[in-house]
Amino acid sequence: MAAKRTRVAILFGGRSAEHDVSVRSAASIISALPTDAFEAVPVAISRSGRWIQPSEAVRLLPPDAAVPCGLGDVMLRPEPRRSSGFDVVFPALHGPFGEDGRLQGLLDMADVPYVGCGVLGSACGMDKDVMKRLFVSHGIPTLPHITVHWADAEAMLPEVEEAIGYPAFVKPANLGSSVGIRRAADRASLEEALVHAGQFDDKLIVEPAVDGREIECGVLGLDPPRASVPGEIVTHEGFYDYETKYLSDSAELHVPAAIPPAIARAIRELSVKAFCAIGCDGLARVDFFLGTESGEPLVNEVNTMPGFTSISMYPRMWDASGVPFPELITHLIECAVVRHQRSRRLRVDRA
């Protein structure tokens, strides 16, 4: 008799400007999932927040990813051990309402295992302001920044100019995939960038532009987490924005990065340190700037659910580190189950 396959609910879409990226990530995960051990069960979340059952959700995927999916109904209930139709959740969701701790809290309440960071790591990894404050408190080199709340943006213009200067980058504090980011070269473009970023979040950060290389490193596992070989992103025009990442395919992705061994070691060590500083477990991608003049790595941010598309750096870096995509997905699911088993040992009574 064949062993029962683990049913993996792949959550994708979501109430986020990164909705389309999530769909592509889910398709890649489903295509890479070893079908001898796992059965993918797609569950979509619409832009309005409606949860869509597998029989309808599968139609939102590319045909090649839809073929191996299971289509039985999924029920996720907040009461422990009342959910059905799946064994473990892979939340292939990027941005708010998927990667920021809210979904993770729901899954914890439901007492179901899930891939990726828990509530704290997810929340800290989403909020760039909190994340950078934690980096500083742990002695992790990072760019200086100033936090701007949307309601105070106009009044804070002089303070931003004095603290950061030009050129600068304005970012929504709680978003990824380079959505909402603008470069500011003067007062007029700074005002414009704040207005643009304020469409995506009430909390914004402004940091100085850096003349340097963009390096990334993957982190994987629980005890202890380990870092992949670093990779490098080379853009030929402007910064690594959403269009360059996902639409034009004009950036060059070099894995491994052509950097000295000592710098590669430092980046891997800093990646694990940043991962632990914000309370991550399971996986994350850590992004760096490598200063052109200083040659020193600065941690830019931690992404707690990096892209899993066909061009994403996280699976590429692990493939170059000896962990091919199917094995990577398997390991992430195994980590989810182990962490969930550990959480069940904790007492909920006082006796």
Q: Is 331 exposed, middle or buried (0-12, 13-18, 19+ CB in 10 A)?
A: middle
Residue extents of the structural domains in the chain:
6-114, 125-141+211-334, 146-208
Distance CA 34, CA 38 (A): 6
Please state which of the four CATH numbers 3.40.50.20, 3.30.930.10, 3.20.20.150, 3.40.50.360 is assigned to the domain occupying 6-114: 3.40.50.20
Q: Which tokens go with 31?
A: 């295509």
The closest alpha carbon to 309, from 247, 252, 254, belongs to: 247
pLDDT, position 243:
54
Instruction: Collect all residues with Cβ–Cβ distance below 8 Å to 103 and sequence separation of at least 6.
Output: 11, 91, 93, 97
pLDDT, position 142:
97
The closest alpha carbon to 206, from 185, 220, 227, 226, belongs to: 185
Distance CA 187, CA 81 (A): 55
The per-residue pLDDT for range 288-311, each reduced to its tens digit, is 999 877 789 999 999 999 999 878
The CATH H-level superfamily of 146-208 is ATP-grasp fold, A domain (3.30.1490.20)
Residue at 252: amino acid letter: E
pLDDT, position 344:
84
Q: Are strands 146-149 and 203-208 parallel, antiparallel or unpaired?
A: antiparallel
Please state which of the four CATH numbers 3.30.70.2390, 2.40.160.40, 3.30.470.20, 3.40.50.300 is assigned to the domain occupying 125-141+211-334: 3.30.470.20
Q: What is the pLDDT along the chain (351 residues), one digit of tens a residue?
A: 457 899 999 999 999 888 999 999 999 999 999 999 999 999 999 999 999 999 999 999 988 887 789 999 999 999 999 999 999 999 999 988 999 999 999 999 999 999 999 999 999 999 999 999 999 999 999 999 999 999 999 999 999 999 999 999 999 998 876 789 999 999 999 999 999 999 999 999 999 998 899 999 999 998 899 999 999 999 866 555 545 554 445 678 999 999 999 999 999 999 999 999 999 999 999 999 998 777 899 999 999 999 998 789 999 999 999 999 999 999 999 999 999 999 888 878 876
Instruction: Collect all residues with Cβ–Cβ distance below 8 Å to 71 and sequence separation of at least 6.
Output: 41, 54, 55, 58
Distance CA 208, CA 163 (A): 9
